[in-house]
Structure 1
Amino acid sequence: MITRIWTLIERATLALLVVLFSAMTLACTAQVVWRYAFGDPLVWSEELARYLFIWIGYLSAWVAWKHRAHIALDAVTYLNNPRLTALSQRLVEALVLAFCLYTLKSSFALIAITHSQPSAVLELPMSVVYAGYSAMVVLIGLDILVGWLAGAQAPAQVPVPEV
């Protein structure tokens, strides 16, 4: 049941990424068209594209974590010891989860401070922009917890070619 719910959350987040990327592309395209075709640049498009890009970056960091595609030290995997590899993966997951929990707590303070601060052009509360980080760490943390609860193994590492 947990994995089904988590799969729905993953799909919704991936769909949101597509929507955000499409909106950013449209905002940038509109900026170029208005600047060169009409000689009157849009005031709001640059700020919107910037904030969408921030959210895309944070949500994409979760996608990279989900596929274990972040830069990593893989010295343990070279030892070809499955127990040691599994242990090191769980240790990394525990450390990342602890970091996520700590920074999530800190990000709530930042969101509270910036909630009444509007952005320059869109007058969007800056807390909306900063909430992207919180969304990322919640997704990463939930990914770790769901993996532990479901007993799922971390994705297999790419095999190391023998020399």
Structure 2
Amino acid sequence: MKSAVDVSLRVIIIAIFATLVVCVSWQVVSRYVFGTPSVLTDEIARFLFMWLALIGGAYTFGARRHLAIDLLTDSLKGRAKLASEASILTVVAVFAAIVMVWGGSTLVARTLASGQVTPALRISMGWVYGAIPFSGAVIVYYCALFFAEIARGRLPGAEGEVDLPLE
């Protein structure tokens, strides 16, 4: 199941990035060649970048390739290392669940209810903010998978790496 989520996120990230490149390229061409900057592509690029950053962060977390200060965790062995990993995952899961999923969903619901729309595209800002709870839910999903690995006495490994059991 994790590989299906990983592949889906990769496809979404690649599609967003490709669209972002096209939008920014058109913005440059329309501004410097035609002399009239495209307002639509500017707004699309801004909102796609937010989606790209949040979904990319969730994907990176799931691949265990995120930035981490792991001096303490790397110095630990056995159960102490598992406990440290579990503590860190707990903090991440609680933040993602409360701030990103619950808070983000509340933000999306309030924005949709208020009828706030983007200036150029005239789409609801709720769709733009939807990246927050979506990414939070993905992070919570990955945390659950990593907790399951820890419960089996194994450290969750980075994508492509072998995670050896702890003795």
Give TM-score scaled by structure 2 length: 0.83
Letter in 2 for 1:73: I
Unaligned runs of 5+ in 2: 162-167
Q: Is the 8 A contact 1:28 1:46 kept in 2?
A: yes
- Which whole-Å CA distance do the structure 2 matches of 1:139 and 1:65 have between them? 9
Pick one of 47, 50, 64 that aligns with 1:51.
Answer: 47
For residues 13-61 of structure 1, give each alpha carbon's deviation from its aligned partner in whole angstroms, at most 9, with x where no partner exists: 1100000000000001011111222222212011000000000000111
- Report the equivalent of 1:153: 155
Pick one of 3, 26, 37 that aligns with 1:7.
Answer: 3
Pick one of 87, 109, 112 that aligns with 1:112.
Answer: 109
Pick one of 52, 58, 62 that aligns with 1:62.
Answer: 58
Q: Is the 8 A contact 2:24 2:41 kept in 1?
A: yes
- Please tell me the root mean square deviation across aligned C-alpha atoms, in Å: 1.9
- Which whole-Å CA distance do the structure 2 matches of 1:95 and 1:51 have between them? 28
Shift of 1:78: 4.3
Unaligned runs of 5+ in 1: 158-163
Shift of 1:90: 1.0
Shift of 1:131: 0.9
How many corresponding residue pairs? 153
- Which whole-Å CA distance do the structure 2 matches of 1:48 and 1:102 have between them? 28
Q: Which moved more, 1:66-75 or 1:135-144?
A: 66-75
Give TM-score scaled by structure 1 length: 0.85
- Which whole-Å CA distance do the structure 1 matches of 2:90 and 2:65 have between them? 17
Shift of 1:154: 1.4
